[in-house]
A = this chain, B = another copy of it.
Amino acid sequence: MAASNVQPARGTRDFLPADVRRREHVIRVVREVYERYGYEPLETPAFENIETLLGKYGEEGNRLIFKILRRGEHEASGETDLALRYDLTVPLARVIAQYQNELPRFFKRYQIQPVWRADRPARGRFREFFQCDIDAIGSTSTVVEAEQIAAVGDVLAALGFTDFTILVNHRRILTGLLDAGGVPPAQHEAALVALDKFDKIGERGVVAEFLSRGIDERAASRIIGMLRDIQGIPSNGPSGAALANGERIEMLRACLGESPHRSAVENLSEILGLVSKHPVARHLSVNPRLARGLSYYTGAIMEIAVEGIGSLGGGGRYDNLIGMFLGREVPACGFSLGLERIIVVMTERGMFPATAESGVVDAVVTFMDEESKAEALGLASELRACGLKVDVYPEPSRKFDKALKYATGRGARVMGIFGENERQKAETGVRNLLTREQTSVKRSETAAFIVRLLNPTSST
Q: Tell me the A residues contacting B by CB distance below 8 Å.
A: 1, 3, 5-9, 12-17, 19-21, 24, 35-38, 40-49, 51-52, 63-64, 66-69, 71-72, 75-80, 82, 84, 94-95, 97-99, 102-106, 108-109, 114, 116, 118, 128, 136, 139, 141-144, 146-147, 150, 154, 273-278, 324-326, 360-361, 364, 373-374, 376-378, 380-381, 384, 387-395, 406, 409-410
In the bound complex, CA of A360 to CA of B392 (Å): 40
In the bound complex, CA of A146 to CA of B377 (Å): 9
- CB distance A43 to B69 under 8 Å? no
- CB distance B68 to A144 under 8 Å? no
Within the complex, which residue of B20, B45, B277, B406 is in contact with A9, where a contact is CB–CB below 8 Å?
B45
For A384, give the chain B residue with the smallest CB separation.
B36
In the bound complex, CA of A44 to CA of B9 (Å): 10
- CB distance B143 to A99 under 8 Å? no
Contact A37/B384 with A97-B6, A99-B16 known, Cβ cut-off 8 Å:
yes
Inter-chain contacts of A78 with B (CB < 8 A): 69, 76-79
In the bound complex, CA of A142 to CA of B370 (Å): 10
Inter-chain contacts of A1 with B (CB < 8 A): 51, 324-325
In the bound complex, CA of A80 to CA of B80 (Å): 11
- CB distance A325 to B41 under 8 Å? no
Within the complex, which residue of B20, B144, B378 is in contact with A41, where a contact is CB–CB below 8 Å?
B20
In the bound complex, CA of A9 to CA of B94 (Å): 11
Additional pairs, 20, CB under 8 Å, beyond known A35-B360, A37-B389 = A1-B324, A6-B52, A6-B97, A6-B98, A9-B82, A12-B45, A14-B44, A16-B102, A16-B103, A17-B40, A37-B384, A38-B390, A46-B116, A63-B72, A68-B68, A78-B78, A106-B393, A139-B394, A147-B392, A274-B373
- CB distance A42 to B68 under 8 Å? no
Inter-chain contacts of A51 with B (CB < 8 A): 1, 5
Could you give 18 example pairs across A and B, Cβ below 8 Å? Answer: A1-B51, A1-B325, A5-B49, A7-B98, A14-B45, A15-B41, A16-B42, A16-B95, A37-B391, A38-B392, A46-B128, A47-B128, A68-B68, A69-B69, A106-B394, A143-B394, A147-B377, A274-B373
In the bound complex, CA of A116 to CA of B46 (Å): 9
Inter-chain contacts of A68 with B (CB < 8 A): 66-69, 84
Inter-chain contacts of A52 with B (CB < 8 A): 5-6
In the bound complex, CA of A13 to CA of B390 (Å): 37
Q: Nearest 8 pairs between A and B by C-beta?
A: A78-B78, A38-B391, A12-B45, A17-B40, A141-B394, A20-B41, A15-B43, A143-B394
- CB distance A109 to B17 under 8 Å? yes
Scoring A95, A146, A394, A409 by chain B CB atoms within 10 A of each residue's CB, the highest score goes to A394
Inter-chain contacts of A376 with B (CB < 8 A): 143
Scoring A41, A51, A118, A376 by chain B CB atoms within 10 A of each residue's CB, the highest score goes to A41
In the bound complex, CA of A47 to CA of B419 (Å): 47
- CB distance A274 to B377 under 8 Å? yes
Inter-chain contacts of A19 with B (CB < 8 A): 43
Inter-chain contacts of A8 with B (CB < 8 A): 44-45, 48, 94, 98
Within the complex, which residue of B5, B82, B364, B394 is in contact with A144, where a contact is CB–CB below 8 Å?
B394
Contact A395/B9 with A67-B68, A390-B36 known, Cβ cut-off 8 Å:
no
Inter-chain contacts of A63 with B (CB < 8 A): 71-72
What's the least CB distance linking A269 to chain B, in Å?
13
Inter-chain contacts of A381 with B (CB < 8 A): 150, 277-278
In the bound complex, CA of A378 to CA of B64 (Å): 44
